Amino acid sequence: MLTTKTIDHADKTGRAFLRKVAKGNWRANARRDEDWRLTFTRTIEGEIGEPDEEVVVDSGLTVRDDVQPGMRQSFDDSEPVTMQEPRSVYLHAWDADTLAVLLLKFPNASLKIRGSSGSANSSKIGLTFYSLELDLGERYTVTIGGETIACHGRTVCGGAITI
């Protein structure tokens, strides 16, 4: 069974929901083909012989994709590397609860996917880096979840971003 609900994370009901997320057992995800809408998901186990229930809550937040796909070069002395287009974001429960706590403290924060073509040394072997960042304002950002690392456009270390 699937239950879906939409909230505004900044209003009273949304803040109460974020406090529930902060207590754990919720996952968060966003997908390119769903306009980068951030949803929180939780599975409630059914009784023996009964199906589990999947609860999905649309947070009203969107994730901004700042990655420019194609060949990119960070510095004059670095090599061009292939930046891939992100497909989705997935946060495990421990990262989703961290995100919820930060959204409670910074309700005007925004989420973005950042891609980096790395340093001169990492570009020589074709490494690129992708992370999910929460922009808290006034030039402060916090990385949420693990960093995804790719080599020549293929994922070698999976983090919060799927390319």
Query: Residue 94: helix, strand or coil by DSSP?
Result: helix
Query: What does pTM read for this prediction?
Result: 0.86
Q: CA 32 to CA 158: how far, in whole Å?
A: 17
Question: pLDDT tens string for the chain (163 positions)?
Answer: 566 778 788 788 889 999 999 998 899 999 999 999 999 999 888 788 888 788 899 988 999 998 888 888 877 777 888 899 999 999 999 999 999 999 999 989 999 999 988 887 888 898 999 999 999 988 899 999 999 999 988 999 999 999 9
Query: Residue 47: helix, strand or coil by DSSP?
Result: coil
Paired sense of beta strands 27-31 and 88-91, if any: antiparallel
Question: What is the pLDDT, as a whole number, of residue 117?
Answer: 84
Question: What is the pLDDT, as a whole number, of residue 87?
Answer: 94
Question: What is the pLDDT, as a whole number, of residue 146?
Answer: 93
Q: Give residue limits of the domains in the chain.
A: 2-162
Question: What is the pLDDT, as a whole number, of residue 128?
Answer: 92
Tokens 């002395």, located at residue: 77
